[in-house]
């Protein structure tokens, strides 16, 4: 697929995002996030994690040295700069705390077990109720060591051993929210909303 992307040339620079998006759609792809290279380089220089609320232009505008129309290349990192390899993680926030899962088979298994536990215990008076918020977190893997996939010891009451600093949600955006009020309607909505999508069945010939 990489060979199908249009070449980047000076004459198509302004329309390059549109051209890439059109090429991606041919293969069923889509663009989830966009950011200007000038803003990305500024974030890199300032230690701001890209694709998070802190990297949005409205937030960057609060920085005293941010220039939205800076000369091209003014924020370009030096050739010896170390560019972090950020990854996406899934964080689930409840009244009790925040747990973070990697987007790996093990992380997916633990997340589904966590969701199943809350589904089975939905009407348990010991559950905190409130809301369950899902976040996409962007962070460096080295910074997340010891903070992800911490349910390996089993689903113990309270999950206190699995909680991480709730401030991590500032490095992400909320994707969806569930009402955990103990009622049949909200329980059914939660159960359906956390089920993985089923592959479409082939229609009979």
**pLDDT tens digits, residue range 24-61?**
778 777 766 667 777 888 888 888 888 788 888 888 88
Q: Mean pLDDT over residues 187-199, rounded?
A: 76
Q: Residue 9's pLDDT is what?
A: 60
Percent of the chain with pLDDT over 70: 74
Q: Phi and psi at residue 87, in whole multiples of 5°?
A: -135, 160
Cα–Cα distances in Å, from 48 out to 11, 36, 102, 146? Answer: 31, 14, 21, 22
Strand partners, 164: 98
- For the cut 70, the answer to whether the pLDDT of residue 101 exceeds it is yes
What is the C-alpha R_g of the chain?
A: 21
Q: How would you list the strands of the sheet with 87-93, edge to edge?
A: 98-102, 87-93, 131-139, 172-179
**pLDDT tens digits, residue range 81-91?**
666 788 899 99
In 3D, which of 189, 171, 3 has the Cα closest to residue 86? 171
Strands (E), 3-143: 87-93, 98-102, 131-139
- pTM (two decimals): 0.69
Higher model confidence: residue 168 or residue 75? 168
In 3D, which of 153, 190, 175, 179 has the Cα closest to residue 95? 179
Range with the lowest mean pLDDT among 142-146, 181-185, 197-201? 197-201
């Amino acid at each position: 697929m990489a060979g199908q992307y249009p070449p980047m040339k000076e004459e198509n620079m302004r329309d390059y995002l549109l051209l890439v998006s059109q090429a991606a759609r041919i293969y069923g792809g889509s663009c989830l996030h966009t950011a200007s290279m000038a803003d990305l380089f500024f974030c890199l220089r300032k230690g701001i994690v890209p694709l998070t609320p802190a990297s949005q232009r409205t937030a960057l505008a609060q920085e005293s040295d941010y220039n939205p129309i800076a000369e091209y290349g003014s924020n370009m990192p030096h050739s010896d700069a170390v560019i972090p390899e950020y990854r996406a993680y899934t964080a689930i926030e409840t009244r009790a705390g925040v747990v973070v899962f990697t987007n790996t088979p093990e992380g997916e298994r633990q997340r589904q077990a966590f969701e199943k536990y809350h589904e089975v215990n939905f009407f348990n008076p010991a559950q905190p109720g409130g809301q369950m918020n899902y976040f996409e977190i962007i962070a460096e893997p080295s910074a997340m060591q010891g903070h992800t996939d911490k349910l390996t010891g089993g689903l113990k009451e309270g999950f206190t051993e699995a909680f991480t600093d709730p401030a991590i949600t500032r490095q992400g955006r909320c994707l969806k929210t569930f009402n955990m009020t103990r009622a049949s309607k909200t329980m059914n909505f939660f159960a359906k909303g956390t089920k993985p999508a089923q592959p479409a069945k082939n229609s009979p010939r």
